Structure 1
């Protein structure tokens, strides 16, 4: 027999980037949420680290961007990815990455108010959990998900305390599985996972050593090493990743799965690390050595009934392209506002069906992109002769420096191979060009198919088309300070964006009188378009309107001017009805968006008696 805690709104299993962001967003929106983890605390290994612009925009919206930036390696130090024979040996090439190059930096500055950052999960997750708990989320650690049952009104979830074995249960309206690549919840609800697991192998070693002498003058978080000892596995390269510049590191190298279990001996790993660094006497303090397997798999559906999954539970892939935790954070952001609106009666449960429709294609895309980024190292190896039919790495490196036609051809092949790697390291389009298509987006048939002016993987195309993220540009408030278009939208509300001549839209929103809809007048004192950039970006008449969802997605657009309040009210009501599945004129206004305040709350599940938590 199990004890049972009082009801909550949402139970989240997992406290990684997906689970912690879900808990933070739900708590911010005033939803009762209880997050659990089978572990004693949060991540204890570096794992994911690059925070891309879209994930950082999510953190900005949730009010934790500044806390994350304070601990992260800044954009300018993410730097030039190097390809070298060792940290002490001759360099082969450098690649300007993560938008830091002179020819791409302006694209990144124009595309978002947020820079890229580098911060490992052991530093990121506590920030998210602390903020979520401060806003009212409950957390239980040493708490293992066992099972759940669903009925018409909710979900009963059974857990086991990892310390004393105590079994207990709790009711919730919804359950979220953010429990990783071996998700028990995804398996329980029968999510179909297509693709291949463990198709290649890699070894990672986490170590401490001060390598400032070798890298401080060429700051980068990634150094790829090509020498005679690194030609194993799928990549055929070794890698050194800076966890904390420049004293904490991850070293990685491939192994042949067909040869059996990999060698994880610390002494052998030390020799491998010394080879990557190029210092045979390096004093490295190894913390652990572990195998890691390359997956290429994704779920075709992200939920069943009242149970949804996010993060690695539904998309499983290598860290190439830095898309893993970033996509997980965005899954959470997409799902959380929809749950909040359904729970508060502001949307029909059918809104939750749009979660798979919108995030499923993104998950598939990033699984394919991350794996392709690994395959795209083959031309680099070929340019250096490090392929079965090539002259070998030593001869290939010598050829790169030859004053001959063969040397010129090899150098041209190397440049082409580096250009290909921009699809891994400078793919702003992959990160920001998502276009949602679902019943929560009202398409305008007059828009037709989108025409891409530049490569959509490499370059962001800012647009106000429904389904796209609202474009970033800088406005100026009444205090003369710059604010982004992202700062005056979001924060849990729908935003009706119009211009100074769009008073009919403002009157329509006032007539609806719902707390989750704000009107943003571009051109008033708080949103001055002093640069004129919004006028260039809006793709609509000044008296037209955009309806922006809580997650920043443009849900609906009326490009033509409207000056009649009755017409504006009809159009706005019709759009909201389509998106939310309920008539906004019949929605209760009992709830507001006041922030949840209080102290961090770690729920003690070792003492659960008759539904009372002590």
Structure 2
């Protein structure tokens, strides 16, 4: 490894920002900081970027963060899209009987409009093995240095010591930074062990009638090994690479070490035909429900799986990591430039910890909800005969068979969290609305008016005083602030009248949006004069930036 710039004779390095961990959290934080022109070092104990796919679903909110720094198209170019993610299935094997399927990730014809109205971006499936190199490449071509394995010069063998103003623990579920800080963790009982078996197998002959990226495989009418009574087959690369996630018996020894041929046999059971299969990797993980009670202490900040640990259900893992980083980066940039008080940095934990707590609760609840499906299919009883009886009952023309089918349908369709309700209430994400010019050009989203490292004030007809006020306040505080008027013959036309419906304020009112595209403040209508508007905006910025 070549030497780091600025190394002293005794191997000490000074940097403003040191990120420990190169996963989605650490790598995206390096990207967002670099987008502000900041430089630092990101280090990892691993030999390189992710060697197994792990996280994969990247939702619209996370894609919006990457869109802000110009990475959306690069991610989309290597990701799988809606046609490959159309269903979640429940089946006896990949080639065999199917029990049920659900539309997923915005593919339900009844829900597509909801997804399109929520964001200018689409969810994609990008394995961590493909996402991390994109992030590291961006960070290292925009001023950050990345170091893997050991901080040592290959020629002199000198090991470096790094002194930093800000330290970030993005070092995953076994975070050393969290342990050394002694951050309090809220542990709830875990839900057992899971085993990831990465497999190379060409299943393209099966997928035309079975398209989807998640396939729950249950064989209640068969005996099963203790290391895999059921499993989830996840698409990694269409249609030749798959992750077989095996769920062991609840009473199985977590230290068990099945042989490779045993794993391969179980994989072939789940495939269900004679397709050749090769195991590429096996790893174990625990289904956790853990969140840190605080995310920072002084100038040390922890992000990602270091502070929220949960199963991957609902695709919330790496997405939350990226959004942690996006929230933190603009605050660090403003403090570093002297535009905000260090008090602003305290809001990172205040804002993101409740999100992390909600995420681990939702992800674990989604896993628990699957128990109703397993119960309805007869997968839970220990006795093979009882499991067979319940499975057969599903097809019987009897009162009990009818009840069993109703229970199964209800279990499959259970999901109380369905709808996104856009609004401009402070603390909400800025609603996505397509806008245009009076003489039409390429439409632009409100999402793209915001972001880019600056505050944005959105107003409308009659809100001219906000424009003048914003100019004065931006000059006084030195903050990047743009103003856009939306409405008939304004800067932007609300040609679908969606902004009028969602803005939550009068035409002359104002909505102030932070650099991370969250609404910071709003005024129902214009105040009496430009001076009054400027005074009010000044108070708002003092409160936001910690200068009050």
TM-score tier (shorter)? over 0.9
Partner of 2:387: 393
* 1:475 aligns to 2:435 (yes or no): yes
* 1:301 aligns to 2:294 (yes or no): yes
Partner of 1:488: 449
Partner of 1:383: 376
Cα deviations by residue, 1:40-81 (Å, 9 ceiling, x for unpaired): 210010000000111111111121011101110002321111
CA distance in 2, matches of 1:46, 1:494: 36
Secondary structure at the counterpart of residue 320 of structure 1: coil
Secondary structure at the counterpart of residue 3 of structure 1: coil
CA distance in 2, matches of 1:81, 1:379: 16
* Cα shift at 1:482: 1.3
What is the aligned counterpart of 2:125 among 104, 110, 118?
A: 118
Partner of 1:431: none
Structure 1 stretch displaced more, 35-44 or 344-353:
35-44
CA distance in 2, matches of 1:579, 1:476: 30
What is the aligned counterpart of 1:94 among 89, 101, 116?
A: 101
CA distance in 2, matches of 1:207, 1:275: 13
* Cα shift at 1:231: 6.7
Is the CA contact (8 Å cut-off) linking 1:142 and 1:162 kept in structure 2? Answer: no
CA distance in 2, matches of 1:459, 1:230: 40
Structure 1 stretch displaced more, 213-222 or 161-170:
161-170
CA distance in 1, matches of 2:192, 2:520: 40
Cα deviations by residue, 1:587-611 (Å, 9 ceiling, x for unpaired): xxxxxxxxxxxxxxxxxxxxxxxxx
1:522–1:204 Cα change, 3 Å: same
* Cα shift at 1:479: 5.4
* Cα shift at 1:211: 0.4
After superposition, residues 9-24 of structure 1 pair within 5 angstroms as 9-24=16-31
Q: Which has the higher contact order (CA 8 A, sep 6+)?
A: 1
After superposition, residues 147-166 of structure 1 pair within 5 angstroms as 166=158
Partner of 2:512: 547
* 1:314 aligns to 2:307 (yes or no): yes
Cα deviations by residue, 1:185-213 (Å, 9 ceiling, x for unpaired): 11111111120476401111111111011
* 1:518 aligns to 2:482 (yes or no): yes
TM-score (norm 1): 0.83
What is the aligned counterpart of 2:59 among 52, 57, 68?
A: 52
* Cα shift at 1:396: 2.5
* Cα shift at 1:8: 2.4
Is the CA contact (8 Å cut-off) linking 1:227 and 1:393 kept in structure 2? Answer: no
After superposition, residues 210-359 of structure 1 pair within 5 angstroms as 210-228=202-220, 237-256=230-249, 258-260=251-253, 261-279=255-273, 281-359=274-352
Structure 1 stretch displaced more, 568-577 or 161-170:
161-170
Is the CA contact (8 Å cut-off) linking 1:470 and 1:552 kept in structure 2? Answer: yes
Is the CA contact (8 Å cut-off) linking 1:400 and 1:410 kept in structure 2? Answer: yes
Partner of 2:138: 131
Q: Structure 1 unaligned segments of length 5 or more: list them.
A: 144-158, 424-456, 584-614
CA distance in 1, matches of 2:376, 2:143: 56
Is the CA contact (8 Å cut-off) linking 2:13 and 2:161 kept in structure 1? Answer: no
Cα deviations by residue, 1:520-567 (Å, 9 ceiling, x for unpaired): 222366522111111111010111111100111100111123351001
1:417–1:197 Cα change, 3 Å: closer
CA distance in 2, matches of 1:340, 1:242: 38
Secondary structure at the counterpart of residue 449 of structure 2: coil
1:480–1:492 Cα change, 3 Å: same
CA distance in 1, matches of 2:117, 2:337: 36
Cα deviations by residue, 1:296-341 (Å, 9 ceiling, x for unpaired): 1110010111100000000011111211111000100011111111
CA distance in 1, matches of 2:533, 2:485: 15
* 1:200 aligns to 2:192 (yes or no): yes
Is the CA contact (8 Å cut-off) linking 1:503 and 1:563 kept in structure 2? Answer: no
* Cα shift at 1:256: 3.6
Secondary structure at the counterpart of residue 322 of structure 1: coil
Q: Structure 2 unaligned segments of length 5 or more: list them.
A: 1-7
Partner of 1:567: 532
RMSD over aligned Cα atoms = 2.2
TM-score (norm 2): 0.92
Is the CA contact (8 Å cut-off) linking 2:526 and 2:533 kept in structure 1? Answer: no
What is the aligned counterpart of 1:412 among 406, 411, 419?
A: 406
Structure 1 stretch displaced more, 568-577 or 408-417:
408-417
Is the CA contact (8 Å cut-off) linking 1:197 and 1:294 kept in structure 2? Answer: no
* Cα shift at 1:262: 2.6
Is the CA contact (8 Å cut-off) linking 1:464 and 1:539 kept in structure 2? Answer: yes
Structure 1 stretch displaced more, 20-29 or 264-273:
264-273
Secondary structure at the counterpart of residue 76 of structure 2: helix
Partner of 1:64: 71
* 1:361 aligns to 2:354 (yes or no): yes
1:160–1:363 Cα change, 3 Å: farther
Aligned residue pairs, count: 533
* Cα shift at 1:162: 9.5
1:573–1:95 Cα change, 3 Å: same
